[in-house]
Amino acid sequence: MHPMFMKITTETQLRELYKSPSERAQNKVLKSLDKHAQHFINLSPFFVLSSRNAAGKADTSPRGGQPGFVHILSSNQILIPDASGNNRLDTLVNIVETGQVGLLFLLPGVDETLRINGTAEISADADFLSRFAAEKKPPKTCVLVHIEEVFLHCAKALMRSKLWDEAVQIKREDFPTMGQMLKDQLGDNQIPETQQQMVERYNKDL
């Protein structure tokens, strides 16, 4: 540890460094989905799902689909299809162990985000799965989220990052392919697949 490093260990120390949150920031947390939160979810093609296991190890996973792929069952429940992935099942195992989740929904072109905290469970219920029967690859399970907190998050982070600004986007050809990065990380002697080969392989599994 750096000799000049000062570790913050209490909330009191934190509060001495930061201003108090505004009344609006404190009061914006809802216990269920209002019309604006529902509209946000219905338009969102992407969110990140955070979870933790019984040992407290945290994990965050990206989730995507066509707008509306997350189904709103009620003002307190949403249903997420578990689309095919790498079969590590990190998020699902965490949910089985603790059931605690946090979600961050994004809308392309919109700098505000939507945050949801609550508990979740894994379900293979036929009625739930039938909601996604029209998918190219219907899910084997769904994640049922019971909402405890929901609130809109301000635009500052996405404004700073210029996430939706095409002028600052990285050209894919200027960044190593997934195959090359995995080859370097794993010490694999095989010829890495090209970006085009990866995209073609993924498209068969979407």
pLDDT reported for residue 2:
62
Percent of the chain with pLDDT over 90: 85
Percent of the chain with pLDDT over 70: 98
pLDDT bin (cut points 50, 70, 90) of residue 5 is: confident
pLDDT of residue 199 exceeding 70, the answer is: yes
pLDDT reported for residue 6:
84
For 156, the token pair is 């500052």
Residue spans of alpha helices (H) in 78-194: 90-97, 126-130, 156-161, 178-186
pLDDT reported for residue 41:
98
Q: Shortest CA distance to 142 belongs to which of 164, 162, 127?
A: 127
CATH code 3.10.450.50 for 26-163? no
For the range 93-99, what are the long-range contacts, defined as Cβ-Cβ under 8 Å and sequence gap of 24 or more? 93/53, 94/51, 94/52, 94/53, 94/59, 95/51, 95/120, 95/121, 95/122, 95/143, 96/122, 97/53, 97/54, 98/51, 98/52, 98/53, 98/54
For 134, the token pair is 């029209």
| Average pLDDT value for residue range 144-172 | 96
| Average pLDDT value for residue range 105-110 | 98
pLDDT tens profile 49-104? 999 999 999 999 999 999 999 999 999 999 999 998 889 999 999 999 999 999 99
pLDDT tens profile 176-186? 999 999 999 99
pLDDT bin (cut points 50, 70, 90) of residue 26 is: confident
Q: At a CB cut-off of 8 Å and minimum separation 6, what does 37 contact?
A: 30, 114, 150, 152
pLDDT reported for residue 36:
98
Residue 152's DSSP bridge partners are 114
Provide the residue ranges of all domains of the chain, joining segments of one domain with +.
Answer: 26-163, 170-206
Residue 77's DSSP bridge partners are 74, 146
Pick the range with the lowest mean pLDDT from 7-16, 19-28, 46-55, 150-159: 19-28
pLDDT bin (cut points 50, 70, 90) of residue 206 is: confident
pLDDT of residue 136 exceeding 90, the answer is: no
More confident residue, 204 or 29: 29
Per-residue DSSP letter, 89: -
